[in-house]
Each structure stands twice: as structure tokens, then as C-alpha cells.
Amino acid sequence: MGIRGYLYRVNRTQTLIPSAFALALAHSAISAAEKTVDFAREILPLLSNKCFVCHGPDSNKKDPLRLDSFEGATSDLGGYKAIDPTNLAKSEIITRINDADDPMPPEDAQKQLTAEERKLIERWVLQGGGYSKHWAFVPPVKVTPPSPGHPIDAFVQASLAEKGIAFASEADKPTLARRLALMLTGLPPQPELLESYMTDKRANAYERLVEQLLADPRYGEHQARYWLDAVRYGDTHGLHLDNRRGIYPYRDWVVRALNNNLPLDKFIEWQLAGDLLPNPTMEQLVATGYVRMNPTTAEGGVIPAEFQAKNNFDRTETLGTVFLGMTMICARCHSHKYDPISQTEYYRLLAFFNNTAEKPLDGNKYDYAPVIKVPADQSAWERWGALKAKRIDLVNQAEKLKSELYKKWEMGGREERFLALAKPDQRLEKLQKEATDIAKKIADAEANFTTTLVAKELGKPRETKLLERGEYNLPTGKTLQPDVLSAMGSIPKGAPRNRLSLAKWLTDSKHPVVARVLVNRIWQRVFGAGLVRTPEDFGLQGQQPTHPMLLDWLAVEMQSRNWDLKHMLRLMVTSKTFRQSSALRDGTDDPENMLWSRGPRYRLDAEVLRDIALWASNLLDPHMGGEGVKPYQPPNLWKELAHPASNTKQYKQDKGRMVFRRSLYVYWKRTSPHPMMTLFDAPSRESSCVRRSRTNTPLQSLGLLNEVQRVEMARMLAERLLKERTTDNERLNLLFTLLTCREPSKTERNACAKLLKTMRERYSDSEKEALSLLGTGEVPRDQSLNITDHAAWTQMAATALASDLALMLF
């Protein structure tokens, strides 16, 4: 269902209020009127949504009333108070929200209070009108799960029990294996792995499968994709000419970091400030590509100062989305309407990014400085690592030997010394030879290095001032020092005001939101939707977590377990909650799975759809990393849009195996990404995306069944089925096992048999058409195969690949 469930139109929904309230209100209507109102959960979001526009952090000076704090709400407004603690019933707020003649919100306000909401506010005021902080701004504390056993299940079980619902039954073993493999690695389980799991009778067979998948290098590739969406990774600059940008080593670094399970706090620190670490490694520098990921331009005639500001806005606001789950954009022009972020604070935060050394305009250059030179793909990184290790090893050996020889020299008399001169030690010569060899190899490797954009601090910082209305040419007030958002902690006294301190603030265990935001997105990956269904907004306007205590428990667990991503994933996938059947349950009132009363089920992402088919057809090229690849694409799509001077005007399709690389590596032109990606909801990567939509359109059907690569994959899958199995039944078994980890049902088998029969009849009459079908794509068909069979099976495979069996995680 994805994002569609959250469409929200104010005008039509004055009586249809967001879910958390709807639930809360439904409860309150039933339960006793005296039930204590939960300010943070029930009132604050209400005030934020309907009152803060005028009475919030950005209220104008004409209106003295502020409802975003107890002090504000109880201040004397000239003989009366919005909330009067001495006489609660006389509080102005109660009068005004019920005043027919002079109501609040005013009659012409977009957002009106419902009758239930008015009652709720009244009850809250009568109960004392107490305030507390928005939940997300209070650091999470470790809570004890409500019952023993798996902590996740304990929390979920508790809320299910309230509704009298039991966990759904566990999904069957093959379904679970498929779900798990797709979720962790983005590919179905290899047949051998599936087989070994199916026959593994040990009690921990499932856990063993989890470990095997977590250790698969495909894991890092798949998990990296979510991060690349969030940080808006692209292979082009993104604006105007949208020229090539050399930054793919960053993408490859993300894959490596995840495969090596780099703790997430380090993962963040290196990206924001790797260059500011003492003696940064090459990897730490590559990671700072994060800071350089914003779209840039060099359009003729643009004003550099304007883009210096725009680049910084983009970075500041992306930081807000990715780490803080917070919209920052309002505070660019005025203090935030809902969340406690003042305009000054926005510019203080921006100041951290205002000191980087790159020019504001990219010059349309691939190596938009500063850049460093690094190995060009994963195997080159491995070789480079080995060479560096070898170099260290040689020096160690040489040092040891030299000291031995020196000792000998020192100890020896003139005779021994003469002999040492006349007959140098063989071992030293050997080391020298090896060193010469390694030096040459290093030089060779370096000659093949590529460039990647990195962050570098300016020696002399740029001045940052607040920009009035967000206009680059209206700096006002005094120079602002870089600083963090005061609602979320502070930088330790004496710490440098640079990106490293910014990173340390984010990963501090006392930071209220970062761990929650990250853990929520991990949950979203695993379960298809977050505990907070608005992963991009944890602010006052965001949705409440379905299970607040669980979210906090997970956040603290992650922090206390060294920010270990694999541990968190392991925890989630081993839960009963994850292992439930994903079928919609009769008589269970949980259509949006807010209670997690069933397992995850959703349409897979664009990349996964392509990868599954590449994998099933044995076409997938395992090569990891390197410059983005260009598979088949309809002609002239780029040319129709691009500036004539753009170096991404021509789409030159790659040849050979590169066409079959994993979709993670498909070239990402931000102003025109691959159409099979955008058709299935991949974002453009011009701006941060932490939640993809999952739409369902007729154009997707056309793409699935007609695109060249899909057809080629279908005929290669057909070839595989024909070669590896001898009867139609066995072939169907293999086809279904590859896509669903199980054999077809009787109905499915019949439907497939019927299609095969029709297609065989049809193509036996027209070999020419069969050959045209089998000529789609560039891989030559196996000429030893019967043409009719191959064509009929191609149609069968194409159909299965377009069915929900290959589209859905279930």
C-alpha cells in the first residue's frame, strides 16, 4: 500500500484526522471521560497541526500568545490567560475553541478542530493543562520488554493482546527463506542454499541461514541502495548540463562499509568528517563524498554566491531528513512553524557546511575539485589493500633483517665485516627485489586510479550570516558560529566548531533522534513500513510510532551494541513478528499492519525486479563496483532533453557483460534516470528520499513484458530451464522454485501448461516469428535448442517474471 495510505488533503479531511488521533479518540469515546490525556501523544500534535501556524515557534509579534510552551500558554494576556492554572475552567482556550461568534481557530482557517478534538483539549486543560516535550526530542531510555523471550515479539505481543489478536502462524519454510534472502541480499536464495536450509533439521537452521546471507557480499550491495537513496547519490551533477560526476568510489565504499559491518556511528562520522580525522585513510576520505553529493550547476551566467547558498541549503536540509528525521526547509526563511528550530539555528547548522573548499559552481567537470585518486572498483580496492599490506610487511621484514645484520656488523671483527661486504646477505637482496616488484605494482595500480569528489575544509572559514527570507543576497545580523540544534543537545565546550563535532553530536548516545531515525528505517526495510510511518518526519507533524517503547528499545539496543547494523537486522529477522505469514487475516482489524499482526508484504523495488530476472536467467554479472553501467535503453531519451553541450547527451549502451551488472550499478543520470527504474518508483536522486512510493500502473505492465532486457532475460531463463530439465513439469518446478522457492500449485500448473500449449502451436506454425522473439537482446541464443520450444518457454518465463510471484515480497 505504501505511501498512498498517507495522502492527506486538508480540505477534505477535516473530519478525517491522522491515524494516531483517530485511534486515540476512538478509545477516549469509549473509555471514561476522566482518562488522563497524554499531552505528548494526543495534544501536542493537535496544537502543532492546528494552532502553531499562528501560536507556535514562528508566531508573529502581533500575536502575543504562544501555545508551544506552558509558560507561553499561561502568560497573562491582559487579564486573562489561555490556560489559567488558578481557574482551569475559566481558561480562555476553552472559551475560544467553543465560541460560536469568535472561534479559534478562526472561521477562515484552513484547519479546524473537530468536536472530539475540542473535547480532548478541554479535558486536557481541566486536568491541569500540563506540558511535556515532544516524544522525539526526549532521548530514548532503555526499557524492559513487557515479557521474556524475543524483545521485539514481547512488545508486539503486548499490543496484539490488547486487541485480543494472536500472532499469525509462521510462514512456511520456503516462503520464509525467500523473504529473508530478498530482504537481506535483494536476491532469492541460491538453489543450493535453499536446498541445504530445507534439509537442515537442526533447531537453529533458520539462524544459520540468516548468518549465511549476512555474510554474502550481495548483502552490502542491496543494503547500500537504501542509503544511496537517502543521500541522493547520482553519477551526474544534476542541474542544467547535468554532466558526468566522478564519485562512484563513494558508492563502492558504502557497499564495502556495510559488508564489513562498519559500526553505523563510524559510518556517519567518516561521511560527514572523514577528512577531519587524524591521519585520515583513503577510505575515510572517500566517505566524505557524502558532503559533496548535492546537485550542482555551472549554468552560464549563474551567480556563484547564489549557488553557494543553495548548495548549503541542500546539505543542511538533507542532513535534517537523513539523520534527524526533520524537515528543515521552513527555517531557511523563518523560524519553523511546528518544530523548535529557529531561523538562526538553521544558519548555525548550515555554517558547518559553509567551510568546504569546493567552488560553488561545478565547472561542468567530472573531477570537480577537491578530488582524490582511488582504486576504481572493488577488486582494485582489494588488490590495493593487499599491496599496501605487502608493503608494510616488507618494511617490517627489512627492519628486522637490517637490525640483525647491523648487530652482526657491530659484533663482528674486521674479518666478518669484510665478508659481509664481499658477500651481501641474500635475504636482503630478495627483499629489495620484492620491494621493487611491489613498487611497480603500486605504480601500476595508481595509474589506474580514478577520481572521486571529497570534502576539504577551507583554511580560512567563510562567514555565515542569517539570510533574510532565505535570499542569498540578504545576509543580516552578526556572523554566526557553527552550532547544533539546541533542542537536541549541544557541542561540548571547547570542541572545534567543525563537521567532526557535528558528526559526534549526531552519534552521541544522548542525541534524541538519530538512533531512532536510523533504527526506524532499518525496520522499514525489514517490515516494509516503519514503526514511525513517516520516516522523513519525526517532528510534531509526523506520525506517532506504532510502538513507541519498541522504537526506543531498539534505538538504545543499537547504541549499546556498538551501532552494529547486522546485529539489528539479525534481531529483527529472527523475531516471530517477521516470520509471520503475510496473508491478510480474516477478522483481524489491522488493514495497515499497524499492529504488525502479519508478516511483511510489498512490491519489490525497481532494482530488485531487474536483479531477480538477471539472476534467474544466469545472466547476472557478479562484478562489483566501478563506473555506472548503461544497459539497454530506448534511443534518444537523453538527447531529447539534454543541452547540446552536455556530456550526458548521448546514451551509449555498454557492451558485453556490463549490461548484466546488478542494478545498483546502473548509471544514474539525475535529470533522466533509467526509465525502468523510474517506472517502478526509484527516486531521481535530485533530493533525499527515505521512503519510496510503491505505485501500480499500466506502464509498469508494458515495461515488464516488452522491455528488451526483460525479454532477453526471459529467453535466457527459458534456455536455462530447457537445458537443466528435461520435461515441462520439471521445468515448471525449477521456474517456480527459482522465483518463489516452491513448486507450482495445480491451478498454476494448469495455467502454465495451457499457455505453453498455445505458444507451442503458435510458434510451430511460424518459425520466423519465433526467431524474431529469440533474437531480442544481444546474447546469442543457443542454436542447439528447438526453436518452437525455446520461443514458447520464453513466453512462459516472461509471464512468470511479470507475475506477482516475481514482483512481490511475501
Ranges within 437-476 binding other proteins (CB under 8 A): 473
| Shortest distance, position 173 Cβ to other proteins, whole Å | 16
- Give me the phi and psi of 621, to 5 degrees please: -90, 120
Q: Which is nearer to other proteins, 116 or 564 (CB)?
A: 116
**HEC profile of 777-794:** CCCCCCCCCCHHHHHHHH
702 touching other proteins, by CB under 8 A: yes
3-state secondary structure 249-268: HHHHHHHHHHHCCCCHHHHH
803 contributes a contact to other proteins by CB under 8 A:
yes
For other proteins, the binding residue among 186, 295, 375, 600 (CB under 8 A) is 295
**Residue closer to other proteins (CB basis): 10 or 138:** 10
Q: Does 776 bind other proteins (CB under 8 A)?
A: yes
Cβ(267)–Cβ(297) below 8 Å: no
56, 539, 545, 631: residue in contact with other proteins (rule CB under 8 A): 539
Site residues (CB under 8 A) for other proteins, limited to 264-293: none
Concatenated DSSP letters for 141-183? -----SSSS-HHHHHHHHHHHHTT-PPPPBPPHHHHHHHHHHH
Q: Which is nearer to other proteins, 375 or 542 (CB)?
A: 542
Is 227 in contact with 289 (CB distance < 8 Å)? no
Q: Which residues, other chains included, contact 544 with Cβ-Cβ below 8 Å and sequence gap of 6+?
A: 20, 41, 45, 135, 532
Using CB under 8 A, pick the residue from 695, 729, 733, 786 that binds other proteins: 695
Scanning 11-19, 146-154, 280-288, 493-501 for contacts with other proteins by CB under 8 A, the matching segment is 11-19
789 makes contact with other proteins (CB under 8 A): no
Q: Looking at beta carbons only, is 220 or 542 nearer to other proteins?
A: 542
- Report CA-CA distances (Å) from 649 to 232, 293, 636, 687: 21, 21, 8, 22
Which range of residues in 139-147, 148-156, 624-632, 698-706 is near other proteins by CB under 8 A?
Answer: 698-706
Instruction: Identify the DSSP state of 235.
Output: S
110 interacts with other proteins by CB under 8 A: yes
Q: Is 739 helix (H, G, I), strand (E, B) or coil?
A: helix
CB 447, min distance to other proteins, A: 35
Q: Partners of 451 in the beta sheet?
A: 373
**Closest approach of Cβ 230 to other proteins, in Å?**
13
Segment lying near other proteins (by CB under 8 A), choices 7-15, 71-79, 524-532, 723-731:
7-15
Among residues 91 and 597, whose Cβ is nearest to other proteins?
597
Q: Where are the alpha helices (DSSP H) in 599-745?
A: 606-616, 675-679, 698-706, 708-724, 728-740
Paired strand residues for 374: 450
The piece of 408-416, 533-541, 550-558, 620-628 that touches other proteins (CB under 8 A) is: 533-541
Nearer to other proteins by C-beta: 273 or 738? 738
Q: Which of 90, 723, 758, 765 binds other proteins (CB under 8 A)?
A: 758
Q: CA-CA distances (angstroms) from residue 448 to 41, 284, 442, 451? A: 57, 20, 10, 10
Distance CA 540, CA 484 (A): 19
Q: CB–CB of 515/558 below 8 Å?
A: yes
CA–CA distance, 271 with 284 (Å, rounded to integer): 7
Part in contact with other proteins (CB under 8 A); list of ranges 310-318, 367-375, 390-398, 490-498: 310-318
Please tell me whether residue 755 binds other proteins under the rule CB under 8 A. Answer: yes
By CB under 8 A, the residues from 334 to 363 that bind other proteins are 338-339
Stretch that binds other proteins, among 12-20, 203-211, 348-356, 455-463 (CB under 8 A): 12-20
Tell me whether residue 76 or residue 765 sits nearer to other proteins (CB atom): 765
Binding mask 642-661 for other proteins (x = CB under 8 A): xxx-x---------------
The window from 123-131, 223-231, 660-668, 795-803 that contacts other proteins (CB under 8 A) reads 795-803
Count of C-beta atoms within a 10 Å radius of residue 618: 15
Nearer residue to other proteins within complex by CB, 110 or 379: 110
Q: Could you give the C-alpha distances from 779 to 227, 631, 690, 713, in angstroms and in order?
A: 33, 13, 37, 10
Beta strands in 457-588 (DSSP E): 466-467, 475-476
Question: In this structure, what is the dihedral angle of CA atoms 680, 685, 691, 697, given to the nearest 10 degrees?
Answer: -20
The minimum distance between CB 745 and other proteins, in angstroms, equals 6
Task: Give the footprint of other proteins on residues 36-75 (CB under 8 A).
Answer: none
Instruction: Find the shortest distance in angstroms from Cβ 128 to other proteins.
Output: 28
Query: Between residue 466 and residue 525, which ones bind other proteins under the rule CB under 8 A?
Result: 473
Give the Cα separation of 221 and 625 in Å (integer).
9
Q: Does 771 help bind other proteins (rule: CB under 8 A)? A: yes
- Interface with other proteins (CB under 8 A), residue total 127
Instruction: Decide whether 132 or 706 has the Cβ nearer to other proteins.
Output: 706
Q: How far apart are the first and last CA of the chain?
A: 13
Q: How far is the CB of 121 from other proteins (least distance, A)?
A: 19
CA-derived radius of gyration, the chain: 31
Residues 583-642 that bind other proteins (CB under 8 A): 583-584, 586, 591-592, 601, 603, 634-636, 640-642
**Min dist. Cβ of residue 234 to other proteins (A):** 11
Whose Cβ is closer to other proteins: residue 288's or residue 795's?
795
CB of 663 vs other proteins, minimal distance in Å: 17
| Rounded-to-integer distance, Cα 462 and Cα 460, Å | 7
Least distance (Å) between residue 152 CB and other proteins:
23
Counting beta carbons within 10 angstroms of the beta carbon of residue 146, is it exposed (0 to 12), middle (13 to 18) or buried (19 or more)? Answer: middle
- By CB under 8 A, name the one of 536, 552, 728, 789 that touches other proteins: 536
Q: Is 126 in the site for other proteins (CB under 8 A)?
A: no
705 binds other proteins (CB under 8 A): yes
Judged by CB, which is closer to other proteins: 314, or 377?
314
241-260 binders of other proteins (CB under 8 A): 241-242
Q: Which is nearer to other proteins, 293 or 773 (CB)?
A: 773
The answer to whether 405 contacts other proteins (rule: CB under 8 A) is no
Which of 252, 681, 719, 789 is the binder for other proteins (CB under 8 A)?
681
Closest CA to 142 of 551, 612, 429, 565: 551
User: DSSP letters of 182-214?
Assistant: HHHHSSPPPHHHHHHHHH--STTHHHHHHHHHH
What character string, x for contact with other proteins (CB under 8 A) and - otherwise, covers 707-736? xx--x-------------------------
* Member of 697, 723, 724, 778 binding other proteins (CB under 8 A): 697
Q: Amino acid letter at 545?
A: P
Which of 266, 673, 721, 793 is close enough to bind other proteins by CB under 8 A? 673
CA 624 to chain centre: 20
Task: State the cell numbers at 446.
Answer: 595508481
- The SS3 call for residue 576 is helix
Give yes or no for a contact between 435 and 394, defined as CB atoms under 8 angstroms apart. yes
Q: Which of residues 311-330 bind other proteins (CB under 8 A)?
A: 313-314, 321, 326-327, 329-330
For other proteins, which residue of 277, 762, 779, 782 counts as binding (CB under 8 A)? 762
Question: Which 133-192 positions form the footprint of other proteins (CB under 8 A)?
Answer: none
Among 231, 239, 272, 613, binds other proteins (CB under 8 A): 239
Spatial CA neighbour of 3 closest among 521, 520, 529, 525: 529
Find the helix or strand (DSSP H, E) in which 518 lies.
helix 514-527
Q: Quick check: 513 and 340 in contact, CB under 8 A?
A: no
| Cα 93 to Cα 66, 75, 134, 237, 511, distances in angstroms | 12, 12, 21, 52, 34
Rule CB under 8 A: is residue 530 a binding residue for other proteins?
no
